[in-house]
Chain A
Amino acid sequence: MSSKHKKKASGGLISLCMIVKDEAASLPRCLQSVQGIVDQIVVVDTGSSDNSVAIAKRYGAEVVHARWTNDFAAARNTGLARAAGEWVLFLDADEELDAGTGGQLRMLARERAITGYFLNIWNYMGDSGSDGATINPVLRMFRNDRRYRFEGRIHEQIAGPITRHTPDARFHLSDVIIHHYGYKREVVIAKNKLERNRELLERAVVEEPENRFHWYNLGVEYFRGRALEDALRAFRQARDGIDYASISYAHLLVKHEVQCLQALRRWQDSLALAEEGLAWYADYPDLWHAKGIGLAALGKRRKAAEAFAAAIHIGKAPAIYHTEDGMGSYQSAYWLGSMHEAELDFETAAHWYAEAVRFRSSLLAPLYRLCHMMRIGGDEERLAEFVEQRFTLDSPQASLKLADVMRRSGCYKALRIWLTRRLADAEATERAMLQPWLSVAEDCEALACGSSDDDGGLSTGAAGSLGQALAWLGMAEQSPFPDVALEWLPLLIRSGIAEGPVRDVAGALLDLRPDGEGPSSGAAGVRYAAHALCALADGHLAEVQKTADYTRAAQEMRLLLPAQGEGDR
């Protein structure tokens, strides 16, 4: 203890920060495990009624009392404010620092270049270590810096704030182990809660079979547990003889039953019920949206489009309804766009994809569809123009995001045109960020139409993974294909440059099996090789598209192919 006092004068090396509430049972195990490793213990108590506080004090902790405000990050930050050591370690009460490896923390804390350490958390199924565990690396020790504070009310996290304030932060994966014993209990509790609810409701409907609210709630529980037939029966029971006008939750009941029927792929029934509901709740966007989904599944795209349009026309649901995110806004707009896309009405589809993005600017799916579709429509000039007109890009990051989507979608020409215009009146920061993308776009465009270095089509010194891909092309047969350049395989195949070697690479990747020997990047390799084959097929279909009687058929085939970059989201 004397050394501890000495270190404390200088602030010490490591401060342990915890938040606790009624953890008397597990707290001693946790605090015992850090003895001799940390120099300071800060415990934030959020209102324990057991003797947690006394236990903490017995282990020399400084105890801070804080009112619980439903905010994990706030509680943790209260503790951080008291931390005096150079490093902060944080643990939960049901965790324990491993006796064998825990000692390494003091050595690690002396590394100058490191900002934070990942520790390995072993989640045990039972309360002892005997039942096996799942292991995850987690960031649990970081430099004590007043700028590093937790964020997030429920799933609080620290990595984000650290990298934001220290962009060149270095993290290291340590061998130190944390034992976490409460894991199974937590999972089970969540599951039990569902089961308990279900059991309670099952009992309730026996006692009060006339109470439709019980049936409704039971249906919801079954639906959550994917017991669809049971859910449907319960919803039917709840709806039997219902007066739509007077029951406040009846609209939700109808919506859930429609969704249940759709999960059972009973599309016609779902439509009939949606119609019935809409007779009463004509201003409920969720129900219009659900109707659209049913119609779309039946191939009635134009009628589906009308339903989605009706949802959008309503927009936000009136306050009396319980609504889901995106109904009548971005989800309905995205669906509406896909209906028009499938009808090959690309201009209208583009409008609705743009609307989806306008409703929610963080969405990537509509952007990918937009680019995929416009490339197949064969009008990349129009795409560049459309993007310029319809998207307000209020930050360089937003521009980068769009550029990346266009690049991944293979819209190189559109990307070049749009970037050229955008660069003309971009500010310095944005110009610096976008400039490299222009040469990427130009290189890719040249590759896509099959011109190689020899034709002088490619700019030299392309950066990043594209650069590696091009470098490999230059000396194809002598070196293995670089893993980082896998994403360029579809473009390389399509270019037809160094056809033999490129196809050999793809061929080898296609033979990979999930259980076989091979590079760790096996799955990614197969995926990009398969996409390369799709690119090959797409190229042939693009030619077929030029024959009048096949134009639309070929477009429909190409629209179905996996959009490049799709799934990387």
Chain B
Amino acid sequence: MLLGIHVLACNEEDVLDRCLRSVEGLADELVVTDTGSTDRTLELAKSYGARVVQHAWTDDFAAARNAGLDAARTVWVLVLDADEHIAAGATRLKLRELLRQADGDAFRVAIQSRYGSGESESLRHEAVRLFRADCGFRYTGVIHEQLVRRSVSGTIAGVDGRQCGLALLHDGYLPEAIARKGKAQRNLRLIEKTLRLTPDDPFHLYNKGVTLCQLNKPKDACAAFALAYLFAPSEVPYRPTLVRDYAKALLARDRADEAAALLHREVDRYGDYPDVQLLYGDSLMRQHRVMEARSAYEAALEAGAAGSAAARYVVEAGAGSYRARCGLAAAEAALGRADSAQRLFEAAAGEAPRYVDALAGWAEQLQAAGKSDEAIRAAMASCVGLEAPELLALQARVLGGIGAYAAALPLWREAGPLTPEEARAYAACLIGAGLVREARAVLMAAWAAGWSAAEELAAELSMDAALCSWSLGELVEVREPSCPWSPALLAVDRLLAGVEGATAELLIEPMADPSAAVQQLLGRALELGLLPLAGRLKELDASLGERYAYALYKNGYTHAAAGLLLQAMEQRQLAPEELCCLGELLYGKRLYGEALALFERAIAGAADLSAELAVTARLGAAACSLSLAMEALLPWAGAQHTLGGGWPNADLEHVQSALIRVHAAGWRTPFTGAQRRRANVLEAQEES
């Protein structure tokens, strides 16, 4: 017999069927090694005609797998996990032919592992799974067992072979799969048992880190990875993946400095590994080193284009293409190169139409470049297509994000059944388009459908619905008395109704901070662009008045905010964050000297300046100084002067490149497309 398929199983009734169905007609025998299933696993296996090998579980994966291999009656064996299955494809048909003529002893197969619901959330790698049954191939290692080959003389060697073109799909890394099976806990227990014997074993330490990541314990994972990294020799095959996973874990813990330092050491060694280059770019972006990040993303794209990575490394989908391209696009945008950013986002969207980062980035850039909403919608439609309902929702969401509400609405209406999150985005679009009543209906329906569901989501839906009602001049208690409104919403309802003697303190008791509740509503009203309602909410609590201008500014109402801030300046000391907003505005109008004075006041004014605000103010002040220097030097450029050193052109060049970096560090408020449209809205206009 030519080919046998070997599956190790323990309580796999949920996935085994899919696995065995995918190999039907491919093999001459099916061998299922069972280590004590108590569910329908055995029944399923037998229904496919599998031979079942019973092997008592001894906390040793290699032993279990080898028990199956020992029972092989075929020339070749293909080893699968129950949570894997073979992808359909031409190679599958040619496999037997390939094996008949093969002169090698082992083949690699490609394995694609999904780790999230999105299409781009998958990893790819290759491993030897197909080999001759009688050539000494056996597994070793109680966990994360490795295939080795025992020669006649008894020496043990690693194995490798050609790619046979077979592709496996694996979904055991999906969070729900990990949670359901408790596999991660089981693995951790096994690894720790092994580590008690060999505490410095880098491979087990590495696997411990991986398992801790699956258990969502990034801190412990980092500690395990750190040790593994310390002990792992440079040539071991899992080292590149260790570097990748370690860096990822560090980034998850906001340790951009450590991640960047780690990758800085490794990027040359793994120049052909896109994931390492991509993560380096990400960590540099987190350090605000945009120019350097740019080079790293370019290196990731180069590694991706070379195309050799999949055979050697575990590669994330898009790491060497659309993910890196989006990173590069974001870097270019930060450096002020809008054209380039737009082209890159477009290319990334072309590569992965369902990757929302690419689509959203592209739409932002098109909008910033002055393209009409309709043109943006058409461009996206021709790139992504409109056939699937989830694609419609995706495009509608992206269009809503840039404030193209009218263009988004037809898509939302076509999109079919919406999730509660999507309903909320749809309603936001309706509100943006002025269809507040319709928005409320959508929100109420979604809320009603999910009353008992996720608490947080229900709170958000009811809040938006309440804002709609108030904006229409109606009260929720009057209109929808039977709904389970939160006490805070009811309190605000009463305040807006102008109930005699009602104050926020009185009504929102016993909440710790009554104005916080109103403030949250005010913030959301501004997000949704319900400016007149925001104006009314602000009147409910005296403490909100002072923060109103700042909230306006951060939601894109820059012109309106400026007016309020300039008024306030005459009556009181502006807060540092307000001074920074004003400084940013004046900077945009090229009034660098005046802006500098404001930033300096923000720095000098408050001793307890938050770190974030201090950075903003100082970068703002630096940008102002450098812009002033540029302005003074420019008239002298090109003229012949006797100061030497290429003056003033060399100085200009220096100042300009420093200025580009200051801007790239992102001290200015990053307005979205929707917010940019509000820049010139005046409060009075909106209310009229």
Q: Which chain A residues have a beta carbon within 8 Å of chain B's beta carbons?
A: 299-300, 302, 507, 509-514, 523-524, 526-527, 529-531, 533-534, 536-538, 540-541, 543-544, 547-553, 556-558, 560-562, 566-569
Contact = CB atoms under 8 A, between A and B. Distances in A.
A544 B650 contact: no
Most chain A C-beta atoms within 10 Å of own C-beta, residue among B298, B619, B650: B619
B645 A569 contact: yes
A514 B647 contact: no
Given A533-B625, A544-B615, A526 B658 contact: no
Contacts of A537: 621-623, 625-626, 629, 658, 662
Interface stretch (B107-115, B152-160, B213-221, B636-644): B636-644
15 contacts: A302-B268, A527-B643, A530-B648, A534-B629, A536-B622, A536-B625, A537-B629, A543-B618, A544-B615, A550-B288, A550-B665, A556-B292, A556-B661, A566-B645, A567-B650
B291 A556 contact: yes
Given A533-B628, A533-B629, A562 B294 contact: no
Contacts of B655: 530, 534, 561-562
A490 to B, nearest CB: 11
B632 interface: yes
A556 B648 CA distance: 22
A514 B662 CA distance: 29
A148 B422 CA distance: 92
A556 B665 CA distance: 11
Nearest to A306: B268
B295 A549 contact: no
A134 to B, nearest CB: 13
B642 A523 contact: yes
Given A553-B287, A557-B661, A527 B651 contact: yes
B24 interface: no
Contacts of B648: 523, 526-527, 530
Nearest to B645: A567
B82 interface: no
B635 interface: yes
A536 to B, nearest CB: 4
Given A530-B632, A537-B629, A541-B619, 11 more contacts: A514-B636, A523-B648, A530-B651, A534-B629, A543-B614, A553-B287, A553-B289, A553-B661, A560-B657, A567-B646, A568-B644
B376 interface: no
A512 B294 CA distance: 38
Contacts of A561: 654-655, 658
A344 B626 CA distance: 22
Nearest to B631: A510
A536 B654 CA distance: 15
B256 A549 contact: yes
Contacts of B628: 510, 533
Nearest to B616: A544
A91 to B, nearest CB: 28
Nearest to B267: A302
Contacts of A560: 654, 657-658, 661
B645 A523 contact: no
A526 B636 contact: yes
B288 A526 contact: no
Contact of A514 (B618, B619, B639, B665): B639
Interface in B290-306: 290-292, 294-295, 298
B605 to A, nearest CB: 15
Contacts of B646: 567
B530 to A, nearest CB: 35
A41 to B, nearest CB: 37
Nearest to A303: B268
Contacts of A552: 260, 287, 289
B656 to A, nearest CB: 9
Contact of A550 (B615, B636, B645, B650): B615
Contacts of A550: 287-288, 615, 665
B633 interface: yes
Given A527-B647, A544-B615, A561-B654, A553 B636 contact: no
A511 B631 CA distance: 9
A569 B288 contact: no
Closest 6 CB pairs of A and B: A567-B645, A553-B288, A537-B622, A510-B632, A537-B625, A560-B658
Interface in B635-688: 635-636, 639, 641-648, 650-651, 654-655, 657-658, 661-662, 665
A524 B635 CA distance: 14
B102 interface: no
Contacts of B287: 549-553
Nearest to B647: A567
B149 interface: no
A514 B647 CA distance: 13
A507 B592 CA distance: 12
A562 B654 contact: yes
A324 to B, nearest CB: 21
A533 B651 CA distance: 12
Contact of A549 (B257, B623, B629): B257
B286 interface: yes
A361 B644 CA distance: 21
B256 A530 contact: no
B638 to A, nearest CB: 10
A299 B289 CA distance: 13
B197 interface: no
B611 interface: yes
A540 B648 CA distance: 23
B403 to A, nearest CB: 30
A307 B611 CA distance: 41
Contacts of B626: 533-534, 537
Contacts of B611: 547
A512 B657 CA distance: 23
B641 A557 contact: no
Given A534-B625, A549-B257, A567-B650, A540 B642 contact: no
Contacts of A548: 257
A300 B295 CA distance: 8
A540 B651 contact: no
A567 B643 contact: yes
Contacts of A534: 625-626, 629, 655, 658
Nearest to B641: A523
Contacts of A567: 643-647, 650-651
Contacts of A568: 643-645
Contacts of A510: 628-629, 631-632
A439 B54 CA distance: 89
B643 A524 contact: yes
A161 B306 CA distance: 65
B259 to A, nearest CB: 12
Contacts of A557: 622, 658, 661-662, 665
Nearest to B599: A540
Contacts of A513: 635
Contacts of A551: 257, 287
Nearest to B256: A549
Contacts of A531: 629, 651
A514 B648 CA distance: 12
Nearest to B292: A556
A566 B619 CA distance: 24
Contacts of B657: 560
Contacts of B268: 302
Nearest to A509: B632
